[in-house]
Structure 1
């Protein structure tokens, strides 16, 4: 009985260790890893902005990227389609106000068809 519980705890700890930690971004949002990219999530009202950068924090042009932010709003998931805007920014509008630090994830598809996702706690 103890072995299955110990295996579960070890598995959860290992999974937690794999996820990247969030840091503060230059646009006032939170930054996390999404594959080979860093993504900064900035939410203001219903607007969601996601800024892309590479491993060295250099901006990556958003042209050709598609994305979806799946964020928790009022205890329910809200899917926000993201489209390229200017520079390294993807943007979208939610149906309701998101608050300043919504939890959820950002899923990206690059111009080459490769996908990546980043989680925000």
Structure 2
């Protein structure tokens, strides 16, 4: 019985910790941890913008990065290829409008081939 309670409390604390990492960003989107980076997801219509920053919230130039946003639209996954744009922004177009706060994940590949992902609830 005690083991069950400890397991339940540990699970709740872990879930709270995961949710606590998603915050609001300077571009009006949601920010999540992605490895050693922070990614801010901004969805407007069918456009997805992802802003990349380091642990100190300093912009990381997007040149050389590749990405994919896998977002839930109408209960189905929508894959959006992200390409570097200006500054620290990667951008892509979805086949349909996404809504302002889609759930899903962003997967990044850095110029050296390292990968990272951030989850948005």
TM-score (norm 2): 0.89
SS at match of 1:16: helix
Report how far residue 3 of structure 1 moved.
Answer: 8.2
Deviations 1:59-101 (A, max 9, x none): 0000010000000000101010100000000000000100000
Distance 1:115 1:14 in 2: 27
Distance 2:76 2:5 in 1: 32
Give 2:58's aligned residue: 58
Report how far residue 7 of structure 1 moved.
Answer: 7.8
Q: 1:74 to 1:114 in 2, by over 3 A?
A: same
Distance 2:2 2:75 in 1: 35
Higher alpha-carbon deviation: 12-21 or 65-74: 12-21
Report how far residue 21 of structure 1 moved.
Answer: 2.0
Distance 1:23 1:65 in 2: 23
Report how far residue 102 of structure 1 moved.
Answer: 0.4
Structure 2, unaligned runs of 5 or more: none
Give 1:97's aligned residue: 97
Distance 2:6 2:109 in 1: 35
TM-score (norm 1): 0.89
Report how far residue 106 of structure 1 moved.
Answer: 0.3
Structure 1, unaligned runs of 5 or more: none
CA RMSD of aligned residues (A): 1.8
Count, aligned residues: 120
| 2:12 is the counterpart of 1:13 | yes
